[in-house]
Amino acid sequence: MITHTKTQTITTTLSKTPQALRKKRRWGETLIQASLFACGVLSIFTTVGIVFILARESLNFFRQVNPIILFTSTKWTPQLNQFGIWPLLLATLQVSAIAMVVALPLGLAAAIYLSEYASEWVRSVLKPALEILAGIPTVVFGYFALTFVTPLLRAIFGVDAVQIFNVLSAGIVVGILIIPLISSMSEDALHAVPNSLREAAYGLGATKLETSLRIVVPAALSGITAAFVVSISRAIGETMIVAIAAGSGPKNFDLAKDGLFSYVLNPLLSAETMTGHIVRISGGDLSYDSIDYNSLFAIGLLLFVMTLLLNIVARRFVARYREVYE
């Protein structure tokens, strides 16, 4: 009798339990989820809209200019209907390459120090202090390049060798600008490596430097690569520094007459990048739907394609060498 009563009580309790534990709708979480979804959809539509505008206006440009001429001519003079992209493209690649030479070793070294050597107190102080650089307006960096870095380069290489507006000073300062981006993202990737790998290396007799360079850095390679790609994209798209310090005119050239390293690729001379040209031309009096106006969108589309290809290659690299830890 007692057993039957207990069984009946347990059965009654179990029948009521699903109703009591039924998932309740939490309107706050639902609202947050809907807001996040709306932000994601809005960002996608914004990107699609930007690409659509670039493609539409660029199509108007390519209806008047043969795309083959764009990549075979070495002179960019819209007034004379000369639209060779190479002077602008080479200047952009030069600035980006110089910036990477400056930023990659310094940023990665700072990340290794913060992750592997610095104490928690030092890390909590140095990392925010380093990231302050990212909050300085790029206009200030541009005038810093013009008034400090350029005179320093002229004192080192000679006044006659270094022009007031030059690619080298712009590239150095762009590199300084992106150091916080590389160091912060790389440090996060290094800090996420499990301590068990470090302890295993120490157990085998490795020093702290060997552990950092041979164990931790390879383990965080995917995150470091992502930091490098974001930084390169940032360097390619930088505008105000190159507009102020690099030059305000395309460095047109003729390979049959001009030396490759003495003139074309000489970083001590002035040159105009793709973004710098967009800033300079868009600030003037351009009539809507003119060839000069449409050329700006063609340059913007080329910049978009460059960064897109860079991100595709980087994603493949990250997917291949990514390591997942439990």
Residues 6+ apart with CB under 8 A from 227: 107, 181, 182, 184, 185, 186, 189
- pLDDT on residue 167: 94
| Six token digits for residue 79 | 């007034």
| Six token digits for residue 313 | 């290659």
Gap between the Cα atoms of 250 and 2, Å rounded: 97
Tell me, yes or no, whether 3 and 96 share the same domain.
no
pLDDT in tens, the chain (326 residues): 445 555 555 555 545 545 555 566 777 788 899 999 999 999 999 999 998 988 888 888 888 888 888 888 899 988 788 888 999 999 999 999 999 999 999 999 999 998 888 888 888 888 888 878 778 889 999 999 999 999 999 999 999 999 999 999 999 999 999 999 999 889 888 888 888 888 888 888 888 888 888 888 888 888 888 889 889 988 998 889 999 999 888 999 988 888 888 898 999 999 999 999 988 887 766 777 788 888 889 999 999 999 888 888 888 877 776 665 55
Tell me, yes or no, whether 124 and 171 share the same domain.
yes
Tell me, yes or no, whether 176 and 45 share the same domain.
no
Tell me, yes or no, whether 49 and 73 share the same domain.
no
- pLDDT on residue 66: 85
Domain count, the chain: 2
The residues that bridge with 83 in the sheet, in sequence order, are 76
Gap between the Cα atoms of 105 and 291, Å rounded: 42
Tell me, yes or no, whether 244 and 134 share the same domain.
yes
H helices of the chain, in order, are 2-20, 27-62, 67-72, 86-112, 120-131, 138-144, 150-157, 167-191, 195-203, 208-211, 217-219, 221-237, 240-245, 274-282, 291-321
Tell me, yes or no, whether 83 and 96 share the same domain.
yes
Q: Is 193 helix (H, G, I), strand (E, B) or coil?
A: coil
Contact 145, 244 (CB under 8 A): yes
Tell me, yes or no, whether 227 and 302 share the same domain.
yes
Tell me, yes or no, whether 248 and 299 share the same domain.
yes
Contact 169, 245 (CB under 8 A): yes
Q: Tell which residue, 305, 241, 309, 308, has the closest CA to residue 275.
A: 241
Q: Tell which residue, 182, 176, 189, has the closest CA to residue 220.
A: 189
Q: Which of 16, 39, 63 is the last residue of a domain?
A: 63
Tell me, yes or no, whether 135 and 198 share the same domain.
yes
At residue 269's C-alpha, the angle toward residues 268 and 271, to 5°, is 125
Q: Tell which residue, 270, 134, 140, 115, has the closest CA to residue 208.
A: 115
Cα Rg of the chain, angstroms: 28
Q: Which of 63, 91, 113 is the last residue of a domain?
A: 63
The per-residue DSSP string of 46-114 comes to HHHHHHHHHHHHHHHHHTTS-HHHHHH---EEGGGTEE--HHHHHHHHHHHHHHHHHHHHHHHHHHHII
Q: Which of 63, 80, 101 is the last residue of a domain?
A: 63
The answer to whether residue 326 sits within a structural domain is no
- pLDDT on residue 2: 46
- pLDDT on residue 143: 94
Tell me, yes or no, whether 81 and 59 share the same domain.
no
- The label of the residue with tokens 């897109």 reads 308
Question: Could you tell me the CATH number of the domain that includes residue 121?
Answer: 1.10.3720.10
- pLDDT on residue 204: 86
Q: Which domain holds residue 289?
A: 68-321
